Amino acid sequence: MNEPEGVWQHCTNSAIRRAARQLGQLYDDVIAPSGLKGTQFSLMSQIALAGRDGIPLKPLAEAMVMDLSALGHTLKPLTRDGLVELIADEKDGRVRRARLTATGAARQAEALTLWRDAQARFDAAFGAERSAEMRALLGLVSSPDFAKAFRAAQPIR
Amino acid sequence: MNEPEGVWQHCTNSAIRRAARQLGQLYDDVIAPSGLKGTQFSLMSQIALAGRDGIPLKPLAEAMVMDLSALGHTLKPLTRDGLVELIADEKDGRVRRARLTATGAARQAEALTLWRDAQARFDAAFGAERSAEMRALLGLVSSPDFAKAFRAAQPIR
DNA sequence: TGAATTTAGTGGCATATACCATTATATTGG
DNA sequence: CCAATATAATGGTATATGCCACTAAATTCA
């Protein structure tokens, strides 16, 4: 039974989006009882690391490898629902810092429990070692250095 | 210089989305002159494989690991712009087959040239061998068998 | 054969995410 | 200090993508 030919076998971009769709569904199904999507959980978890001071949107976007305006839009449902708040920066009037509200922190903690289940399933299905290796490779692809190397690579001549 | 802590170091779902955003930008920049986005190029290339008969939306969605309705939505800009057409199936009145128009095929061919450059850059920056390995791993994650294994890993209670 | 069920698609709604233009603040150079 | 420039964020617009409800057509079964 031959697998049908697919672009993803040749195109890394297609392959990664396809896998992201699959993983998105699998993780979402597990953490859905918390009322959060996987993307929201990721974002809130990253914000949580900043603690009470919060983190300015610009560096947050960079850490997430996300466009700044996309981050702003993605935050809207979260601020609307009172899970995240944007606070002014003391020093720089342009800056807004994202911070979890008490409700948001509780929600994130709740989702964290479910996430552990999802991640454990992934490790079980994929192998814990390959899982860590995969994250390391994905981390490389996501790095500014990789982007630089990609852009600098010589086009076909 | 310590890298800041990030969720993506622990969560494979976060890691893959983050890498997908990065790759999306990099590939998009390269194939933009064709007027297509990376996602559109992927989809059209997959449709192209079906040739003149086209391919019903359901199996196309399955191949792309995409929700059927999401596929329908994604196809809209392409049908609107006359790059893809949906034709009736001879045997089954429920089925619509997606097929590239002549214009769409030409556009896809044009984007293909640019894509080769993008993929070559990826291979150069990441290593051709690791690149192929990565696609293979992503293919595993995208497979129905992996989804089954993930869901079976632990019962929800 | 006709009713019940399954299957393929469509449309509405919501989030995710990008690019562009604009605004509000800083920072810098003269 | 002030004008020019740079930076952070916001809002508009468009595509990407998922869930749910609904329709149409095929299949199943009594």
Sequence spans of domains, chain A: 8-150
Nearest to A137 among B7, B134, B147 (CB): B134
Whether domain A8-150 has CATH 1.10.1060.10:
no
- The answer on pLDDT for A148 being more than 90 is yes
Chain D nucleotides close to protein (CB under 7 A) are 7-21, 24-27
Backbone torsion region of residue A85, taken as left when φ is above 0, otherwise alpha when ψ lies between -120 and 50, otherwise beta: beta
Q: Cβ of B139 and A46 within 8 Å? A: no
Q: Cβ of A45 and B13 within 8 Å? A: no
Share of chain B above pLDDT 70, in %: 96
Please list the alpha-helical segments (H only) found in chain A.
Answer: 12-31, 38-48, 57-64, 68-80, 102-126, 128-142, 144-152
Q: State the CATH architecture for B7-113.
A: Orthogonal Bundle (1.10)
Cα A84 from Cα A68, distance rounded (Å): 16
Cα B22 from Cα A6, distance rounded (Å): 22
Q: What confidence tier does A55 reach under pLDDT thresholds 50, 70, 90? A: very high
- The answer on pLDDT for B1 being more than 50 is no
- What's the mean pLDDT in B44-56? 96
Of B19, B41, B16, B17, nearest in space to B28 by CA? B41
Cα A20 from Cα B24, distance rounded (Å): 12
- What's the mean pLDDT in B144-150? 95
Nearest to B63 among A4, A38, A63 (CB): A4
Token pair for residue B48?
Answer: 């192209």
Q: Which residues of A touch B45 (CB under 8 A)?
A: 7, 11, 14
Q: What confidence tier does A3 reach under pLDDT thresholds 50, 70, 90? A: low
Q: Cβ of A9 and B139 within 8 Å? A: yes
Contact B89, B56 (CB under 8 A): yes
Q: Which one of A45, A130, A142, A148 would you mutate to disrupt binding with B, by most B Cβ within 10 Å of its Cβ?
A: A142
**Å: B96 CA to C9 C1':** 8
